[in-house]
Structure 1
């Protein structure tokens, strides 16, 4: 009971007594945010302001907080990351909270990050943009095709994916990363996977029963980027039940897939025909390649190895 009375007393002390209302209103009127509001709403009578002292005082206080913003984490406002707005309502002034620019930028960044998912992809690749790509004659055709691929989402969905192949360090993965970043502008989700590590992860998932969940993530991404395909150690199971299952679903659903590889398509087919146990299964390799060859545009990416620069 004593605590309730103390809270009530503190609340009463915050409210101006009748004789102080005019003085308080004058101080509030001198605040620049209120002056700006009054200039936009010249028809609001003085009585409305006089009967809205509590929201007005909070408005002035929080606008001052925004003027010396200490950052989102230390925002002192009533609703963190929000700034006040005065709104005439039912003969009074009502205080409404709107997200501030800093919170909007943070939420936009989170939204962008949620659209780009990755497995084992380095940060420098995921942060690549078309503006950050280094141009040379050996890379320009692939970069132009990558930009065109993204722009097709403005009017629908590309009919084909892309296959970038070339030597180590020529920037194939960075072009793919730039595609993932640009797709965010079109509200398109993408998933970029480093194939060798993903294959190992799927094998390990057999024990905990999460294989299907992992496959579904790759099967259903709007754009799937398989990075460094051909560098993995394959078993017949991984080739047929993992890679084959993923690609078959995406082909039937018309979902574009992008690839980066050190191997051209013929070399990739040979790679897929051999298992880590030394077996050769050319027919099954051709079956996988049928789901790749006819559904991609192929680009040979050339240039110096920039990994050591």
Structure 2
């Protein structure tokens, strides 16, 4: 079965009377996208455009919708998540529907999520938006930094990720959740996982021979959000063969990462130095932190514990 993006829509779908077709044609030909197409194909006669009024009308309507995009879920186009492209076939015009960046990003995020079962992100965090974030003086810097992080994608990838740390229940994960939804609205792929649950899943993935696939999904996503880092049960294998591999790749490829934690960066380094059975390896901990510390903006998030709110 062909993908929708590869299917060319026939240029004649309907045969119904058009009100004042010549006036409609003149209006359509003035549209910038139609005009550019006509300039690229001077060999097409005017009659070709006359025969394609309905197609051209659909093209202009949907291109206008794309420029005022309301988001993937509210896409008004005939094929949601697709934008139209005019194509020439001999002396005829056809319309090709192509997946937009938001749909491609959504599919890529879903593919990555299918590889990682232990997101363990509560529904209220998955649905978080910056509009629903409760502002307070003690969270203002974190919220502002998160918004700035998303806005930086207008000019490419941000130089640094975020390290949101502080007491339990102050909203660190909620702010991170708002980032994922804002990024999705602008077509940027991201994956948010609860790290302690992920660690347990990685241990089980050994028998499934799926560790490599899971690591690849995490290390290559455009934005990775690791929730509650420092709360995981640490082993040398998790630190050196899982986390180190993910962080090394993301550092090399300049891919931004957001962390939430109850620990400061110094406390996280101490956490990484201690492994099971009394192991203490400060050099390996420092090496891992060199893949985190220079590439994040640390922000203390404080306030009341909202988990006790009724």
Using the size of structure 1 for normalisation, the TM-score is 0.67
Label 1:102 to 1:264 Cα distance change in 2 as closer, same or farther (>3 A). same
Q: 2:76 aligns with which of 95, 101, 119?
A: 101
How far apart, in 1, do the equivalents of 2:24 and 2:150 lie?
A: 51
How far apart, in 2, do the equivalents of 1:94 and 1:42 lie?
A: 11
How far apart, in 1, do the equivalents of 2:180 and 2:164 lie?
A: 15
Aligned-pair CA distance for 1:106: 7.5
State the 4+ residue runs in structure 1 displaced beyond 4 angstroms. Answer: 39-44, 88-100, 102-113, 115-118
How far apart, in 1, do the equivalents of 2:50 and 2:124 lie?
A: 56
Give the match for residue 180 of structure 1. 180
Is the counterpart of residue 122 in structure 1 residue 122 in structure 2? yes
Per the alignment, in what secondary structure is the counterpart of residue 101 of structure 1?
A: coil
Label 1:300 to 1:102 Cα distance change in 2 as closer, same or farther (>3 A). same
Give the match for residue 19 of structure 2. 38
Aligned-pair CA distance for 1:290: 1.1
Aligned-pair CA distance for 1:269: 1.1
Per the alignment, in what secondary structure is the counterpart of residue 234 of structure 1?
A: coil
Give the match for residue 257 of structure 2. 257
How far apart, in 2, do the equivalents of 1:205 and 1:40 lie?
A: 63
Give the match for residue 276 of structure 2. 276
Is the 2:106–2:187 Cα contact (8 Å) retained in structure 1?
A: no
Is the 1:191–1:223 Cα contact (8 Å) retained in structure 2?
A: yes
- How many residues align structurally? 234
Label 1:112 to 1:125 Cα distance change in 2 as closer, same or farther (>3 A). farther
How far apart, in 1, do the equivalents of 2:81 and 2:124 lie?
A: 20
Label 1:181 to 1:43 Cα distance change in 2 as closer, same or farther (>3 A). closer
* Structure 2 gaps, min length 5: 1-15, 26-46, 63-74, 83-99, 114-118
150-159 vs 135-144, greater mean Cα deviation: 150-159
Label 1:160 to 1:43 Cα distance change in 2 as closer, same or farther (>3 A). closer
How big is each residue's C-alpha offset from its partner over 1:51-92, in whole Å with a ceiling of 9 and x where there is no partner?
xxxxxxxxxxxxxxxxxxxxxxxxxxxxxxxxxxxxx97987
Is the 2:227–2:259 Cα contact (8 Å) retained in structure 1?
A: yes
How far apart, in 2, do the equivalents of 1:170 and 1:43 lie?
A: 58
Aligned-pair CA distance for 1:155: 0.8
